[in-house]
Amino acid sequence: MKSKILLALLATATLAAGAHAQVKVEDAIKWRQSAYATMGWSMGRIKANVDGTYNKDEVVKAANVIQAIANSGMGALYVPGSDKGKGWAETRVKPELFTDGPKVGKIAGDFNQAANELAKVAATGDAAAVKTAFGKLGGTCKACHDDYRKDNK
Amino acid sequence: MKSKILLALLATATLAAGAHAQVKVEDAIKWRQSAYATMGWSMGRIKANVDGTYNKDEVVKAANVIQAIANSGMGALYVPGSDKGKGWAETRVKPELFTDGPKVGKIAGDFNQAANELAKVAATGDAAAVKTAFGKLGGTCKACHDDYRKDNK
C-alpha cells in the first residue's frame, strides 16, 4: 500500500482520493525528518533491549511507533520540488529517489513488511525473534540510506 | 502508565526496569521535537479530512501514528537537564514542566486517553465521532502548550 502510494505520487504527482492539506515543501521535509528521527529513537530503544536487558513493554512501544509511521503513507511527503530545501535542516535526499520509482517502491515495500513483522514478534515477547526482525528492518533502512541519502553517516 | 513513567522520572530521575540507552540531552530534545512534529503532521491530516472530504484510510493511518507515539513513553525524553538545550532547535519547554509533577501527569494521562479514543473511533469510520474525538485530543495538546511551552504560537 505504501509503495503503491509512493509510486503513484512519484509517477503522476496526483493525489489519492480524500482530503489532503496542501503540503508546503519545507513542511514536507520537516515532517519527513521528524518521522525518521522518531523511528531512529525507537530503533535505538529496541537495540538497547536486544543488546542488554530485555523489557517486552519497552520493545512493544517502540515497535508500534515504527509500525504506525511505516504504515502512515509517508510517500505523500515526497512532494514535487522537495528534492531540495530545508525542513529542520537541509534535506539529504538524493534526487534519484524521485525518479527510481520501481526500485524505491520495492525498498518502501520491504521496509513496510519488516516493520509489520517486528511489531508482530515484539508482541510475543520473543527476544530472539525480535533480534532477527530488528536486523531485517535495519537492513531495509540501510538499503534506502545507501542509495538515496547524501552524506551517509 | 505514561503519567506514572513521567512522574517517576521527574521525581526521582531513576530509570524503569529494562535496558535503556543513555540518552543525551540534545538527542532527547531532538526526539521530543520530532515526535511532536510527527503528531502535528498527523493532526493536520485528520483536520483536512474532518473539514473536507473524509477518507477513512487516511484518518486511520494518522490516528494510529498519534496513538503509537502517545503510548511510547515519551516522558523518558524529559531527562534531567533537558529544560534547556538544542535538538533540531532550542527547546521551548518551560522549566515548570519538570516540577509540576501531578499536573503534568494529569495532562499526559488525558492526552494518552484522548489519543486512544481517537484511534478507536477512526477505525469505525464514523466521521462525526472522529470530529469530536479530534477536538478533545486537540484540547489536551493545547492544555500542555498553554502552560508548558514558551512563545506559544
Of B100, B128, B99, B129, give the one whose Cα is nearest residue B114: B129
- Which residues have CB under 8 Å from A81's CB, separation 6+? A25
Contact call for residues B98 and B114 (beta carbons, < 8 A): no
Cβ-defined contact of B62 to A44 (cutoff 8 Å) = no
Of B110, B89, B70, B91, give the one whose Cα is nearest residue B148: B91
Q: Is B153 exposed, middle or buried (0-12, 13-18, 19+ CB in 10 A)?
A: exposed
Tell me the percentage of chain B whose pLDDT exceeds 70.
Answer: 85
Q: Kindly report the CA angle at B110 between B24 and B65, in degrees rounded to 5?
A: 60
Predicted confidence pLDDT, tens digits, chain A (153 residues):
444 544 444 433 333 445 555 799 999 999 999 999 999 999 999 999 999 999 999 999 999 999 999 999 999 999 999 999 999 999 999 999 999 999 999 999 999 999 999 999 999 999 999 999 999 999 999 999 999 999 855
Q: Is A123 on the interface with B (CB under 8 A)?
A: no
Q: Pick B34's closest partner by Cβ from A19, A34, A54.
A: A34
CA distance A102 to chain B (A): 23
Cβ-defined contact of A45 to B89 (cutoff 8 Å) = no
The CA-based dihedral angle spanning residues B106, B110, B113, B114, taken in that order and rounded to the nearest 10 degrees: -170
ipTM: 0.87
**Exposure string for B104-120, b = 16+ CB within 10 A, e = fewer:** bbebbbbbbebbbbbbe
For B2-12+23-148, CATH gives 1.20.120.10
Sole residue written with cell 533537558? B82
Strand partners, A93: A149
Annotated binding-site residue? A144: yes
Chain A window 42-71: which residues touch B at a Cβ cutoff of 8 Å? 42, 44-45, 47-49, 51-55, 57-58, 61-62, 64-65, 67-69, 71
Angstrom distance (rounded) from CA B48 to CA B65: 16
Q: A40 phi and psi, to 5 degrees?
A: -60, -45
Q: How many A-B residue pairs are in contact by the CB < 8 A criterion?
A: 118
| Residue spans of alpha helices (H) in B52-151 | 56-70, 101-124, 127-148
Q: Specify the pLDDT at position A13.
A: 35
Note the pLDDT tens digit of each residue in A48-92. Answer: 999 999 999 999 999 999 999 999 999 999 999 999 999 999 999
Q: Specify the pLDDT at position B151.
A: 79
When the candidates are 2.60.40.1220, 3.40.50.80, 1.20.120.10, 1.10.287.610, the CATH number that belongs to A2-10+23-148 is: 1.20.120.10
Q: How many CA atoms lie within 13 A of A72 on its CB side?
A: 30
Q: Is A64 exposed, middle or buried (0-12, 13-18, 19+ CB in 10 A)?
A: buried
Note the pLDDT tens digit of each residue in B98-152. Answer: 999 999 999 999 999 999 999 999 999 999 999 999 999 999 999 999 999 997 5
Taking contacts as CB-CB distances below 8 angstroms, the residues of chain B near A60 are none
Give A27's DSSP letter. Answer: H
Question: In sequence order, what DSSP letters do the residues of A46-96 get, joined into one string?
Answer: HHHHHHSS--HHHHHHHHHHHHHHHTS-GGGGS-TTTTS-BSSSB--B-GG
Contact call for residues A74 and A104 (beta carbons, < 8 A): no
* Residue B12 CB coordination number (10 Å): 8
Cβ-defined contact of B37 to A42 (cutoff 8 Å) = no
Contact call for residues B91 and B82 (beta carbons, < 8 A): yes
